[in-house]
Chain A
């Protein structure tokens, strides 16, 4: 039996550029530092898109392999983390697309959308918000993630997912409504 205890210390001693250059030279030590520095954040990204923990792990694994393979394409223009995050999102979308995800502009009969409003869910913890997002149907979840958190416009989302911008908008509205309903339900349970 092997006991593994994570150790993320000392990673902050290296600058981002230093790490990238060393990784480009194939230095495994720096690649591991890069992984340890960013993998927790990107794991959250993957968890937001994936349906379960296992799929999120696979996404993260594929994303880092792709990052290392395409690191030479990073031109040190703009944020390195943003560049990597875009790769992670693309990998996540690709993994989801393989499950033949389809989007519909029609109202989903199985989804009840309440006409309610709620206070800001700021009192909820990060893990609770994450769980709420994961409970969304896949189509809603993707578009809510892409628009609300990643900051893509509906036109950009339309290009990425090969759907109309109007479809993206309608899915986002439904996603918000469903999240609000879930928050209300949580509040009722708490009371």
Chain B
């Protein structure tokens, strides 16, 4: 027999041959078709998830770097200290309050060419300095009787001072560290007294008569070399008692503690890794399970540790929900039908028996909601745009979430397609559980008053290690996307230098 003929026998007989298709096949296809595409493309691919996390981390670092060097690039500062001091000295109120003084040992600095500016008029800056001090004095006199009026009055004056400053970066600096505080804070007198009045100008030589003081030059060191050069020679100092609200200062630490209570719906995405089972089993398992919306809620403490950097830690409960549905052949029922027909013929009756057999297959449909619950400890670093006078505040954060304890309810299939519980005990499907996740978030908060604030925080959570190790040869982990809503309470209102 020729090869072609041999092949043709197979072709003719098998090309149009029909085989029985499982009854639930259409349901399985329809279910797969209903699966929606993920909201964000990289949730379907773990490597893309990692790229996303890295990108967010880089953004956080970039924002931090930008914030830290916000005054970098400042050109030569226009400060004619000699003129400034002379003018202050002519103001008796300033002298009375010991706001500004020139130390006896100071070197001649008037009209020193070293401090000449090349971008801003000296007179403008000096004028600003004088005006600020004058207004402070006025406020301190009138605040007790009419604080509201005083506030409004100072707002106008300080704004006018700021508007008269031509250099944008100086203006920004004054606005950020002086203007905003004085303008917006209800307790204007206290704030200004704390932040502005104790400013003193010490000697040109840098001699301090108070070891607890910190020079503006040192502050400026963190921001701009040029700014530092100008101010360190001027050596303007702040006393320790000052509450100079300067979020970018390294040495300023907010001593307050914060407590956050939050909750979030979560979209969870599961990643399964084959470590020794058949792909068929994983496909069966995958077709039987689909993730539902989960949630998490918790409480955490927040503490300032460095500059604008806060650390958050606490405890949270996370629950992943999963729909498990499987249809299995449960019962085969065979029925035999025997039909007897009697045919009457002249030569006698003939009995014909017709036997037919049909089988009914009974399917058992099992459906449960699997619940993966975890008690977790988040350890998060947070960069905040902290300004005590702003109603709105933003922050970005990132960190790790450790899985402290887990327990599961529900079912899955084993390799023989039997249904087993998803616990870690007894005949459960999973042998151990440990999870480590990376988390990145951005949040916006709104202050309700001095102590309370509401916040919302979209976040992405990437499962770094496999959370579940199955007895049946696979591992699985979860990635999450959620948006937390929460409330924050601030204990105390202290700051430390």
Question: Interface residues, chain A, CB within 8 Å of chain B?
Answer: 1-6, 28, 32, 35-36, 39-41, 43-44, 47-48, 52, 54-55, 57-58, 60-61, 64-65, 68, 95, 98-99, 117-122, 124, 126, 129-130, 133, 144, 147-149, 151, 176, 179-180
Contacts and interface: CB of A to CB of B under 8 A. Distances in A.
B19 A44 contact: yes
Interface stretch (B26-34, B148-156, B438-446): B26-34
B33 A4 contact: no
Contacts of B25: 35, 39, 57, 60-61
B328 to A, nearest CB: 11
B16 to A, nearest CB: 6
Contacts of A117: 1
B330 interface: yes
Nearest to B361: A4
19 contacts: A2-B363, A2-B365, A3-B363, A32-B30, A48-B14, A55-B280, A61-B28, A61-B287, A68-B33, A95-B279, A117-B1, A118-B1, A120-B5, A121-B10, A124-B13, A126-B17, A144-B10, A149-B15, A179-B6
A127 to B, nearest CB: 8
Contacts of A4: 23-24, 361, 363
A48 to B, nearest CB: 7
A73 B284 CA distance: 29
Contact of B331 (A1, A48, A130, A147): A1
Given A54-B280, A60-B25, 12 more contacts: A2-B365, A4-B23, A43-B19, A43-B20, A57-B22, A60-B21, A126-B13, A126-B17, A129-B10, A149-B10, A149-B14, A180-B6
6 closest A-B pairs by beta carbon, nearest first, are A40-B18, A148-B7, A4-B23, A43-B19, A126-B17, A44-B19
Nearest to A50: B280
A39 B20 CA distance: 9
Interface residues on chain B, size class: 35 or more
B5 A130 contact: no
Contacts of A5: 360
B176 interface: no
Interface string B357-401: 000111111000000000000000000000000000000000000
- Chain A CB within 10 A, most for which of B19, B26, B287, B363: B19
A64 B29 contact: yes
Given A61-B29, A65-B32, A149-B10, A47 B19 contact: yes
Interface of B: 1, 3, 5-7, 9-11, 13-26, 28-30, 32-33, 279-280, 283-284, 287, 327, 330-331, 360-365
B6 A129 contact: no
A2 B32 contact: no
Contact of B21 (A39, A55, A151): A39
A65 B15 CA distance: 22
A86 B361 CA distance: 32
B284 A54 contact: yes
Contact of B363 (A1, A41, A122): A1
B9 A122 contact: yes
Given A43-B20, A129-B13, A149-B14, A120 B1 contact: yes
B21 A120 contact: no
B281 to A, nearest CB: 8
Contacts of B364: 1-2
The A interface is mostly helix, strand or loop, or mixed, namely: helix
A4 B22 CA distance: 10
B32 A121 contact: no
Contact of B14 (A28, A40, A44, A65): A44
A121 B199 CA distance: 106
A6 B18 CA distance: 14
B3 A176 contact: yes
Contacts of B7: 147-149, 176
A98 B11 CA distance: 27
Contacts of B30: 28, 32
Contacts of A98: 279
Contacts of A129: 9-10, 13-14
Contacts of B21: 6, 39-40, 43, 60
A148 B10 contact: yes
Given A129-B10, A148-B10, A148-B11, A1 B362 contact: yes
Contact of A58 (B6, B13, B280, B361): B280
Contacts of B360: 3, 5
B21 to A, nearest CB: 5
Contact of A6 (B23, B28, B33): B23
Contacts of A130: 14, 17, 19
A41 B362 contact: no
Nearest to A4: B23
A2 B14 contact: no
Contact of A176 (B6, B26, B363): B6
Contacts of A32: 26, 30
A35 B29 contact: yes
A164 B330 CA distance: 47
Contacts of B3: 176
A1 B418 CA distance: 17
A138 B279 CA distance: 16
A3 B365 CA distance: 10
A28 B443 CA distance: 43
A41 B33 contact: no
A40 B88 CA distance: 98
Contacts of B363: 1-4
Chain A CB within 10 Å, residue with most, of B21, B284, B364 = B21
A36 B22 CA distance: 11
Contact of A99 (B10, B32, B279): B279
B9 A120 contact: yes
B32 A61 contact: yes
